Amino acid sequence: MSREIYVMIHAIITHSRVNGPGVRSVVYFQGCDLGCAGCWNPATHAFVGAERSIDDVATQILGVVGIDGVTFSGGEPMQQASALFALISILKARRPDLSIGMHSGYTERELNASAIWRAVCEHLDFAVLGRFVAAKPSSLPLRTSANQILRLFSGRYREEDFQPQECEVQITQEGLVQITGFPLAGSPA
Ligand code: SF4
């Protein structure tokens, strides 16, 4: 029997148009200790909360109809890198057509030292990399500060495929309000 792998998830938005090209599910990991001053999502920082098996999370995402891809955000996905890689591997095995993107507060230089990052990259179409630096606001697509880079890993997208920063507010049938995207140019999403 294979060992179950667990991941701490802050939230999942099933359909978003502001977190990369097309319609995407967004998976927010719980936990980040990178400490960017002015982070807009401090509720994702603590490494506390319910853990879910990656099979359970994959089943939820694979059941979402009408998406082009999945974007991983946080929190810091690379601080649960083994679970991230395992989850992406399941998704790509079952839905090779899904595009995969992510946000990471780590720089590419920091990540390149990590073998698991190189494995994750094999599945990525794009990633936004680097800390949020409030003193360097940016209005470039998906990049909230000018030090961040948008790295394209496959031939699937070009820079022009990424829309200007926008904010999205969703109200679920239960009355839950979910805000995602970029409320102000230069705010960390
Ligand atoms: S902006 Fe991202 S990397 Fe920085 S503290 Fe917030 S969640 Fe962590």
Q: Answer yes or no: is the C-beta of 41 below 6 A from any ligand 1 atom.
A: yes
The pLDDT tens digits for 33-83 are: 999 999 989 999 999 998 999 999 999 999 999 999 999 999 999 999 999
User: Which atom, in ligand 1's list, is nearest to the CA of 188?
Assistant: 1
Kindly state the tokens that stand for 25. 């599910």
Tell me, what's the pLDDT at 180? 81
CATH code for the structural domain at 6-181: 3.20.20.70
- Domain locations in the chain as residue ranges: 6-181
Provide the 8-state DSSP code for 141.
T
User: Which atom, in ligand 1's list, is nearest to the CA of 106?
Assistant: 3
Q: Answer yes or no: is the C-beta of 131 below 6 A from any ligand 1 atom.
A: yes
Tell me the C-alpha to C-alpha distance, in Å, between residue 180 and each of 12, 113, 169. Answer: 11, 31, 7
Kindly state the tokens that stand for 98. 């899904």
Element (H, E) at 167: strand 167-171
Amino acid sitting at position 12: I
The pLDDT tens digits for 108-146 are: 999 999 999 999 999 999 999 999 999 999 999 999 999
Q: What is the mean pLDDT of the chain?
A: 93
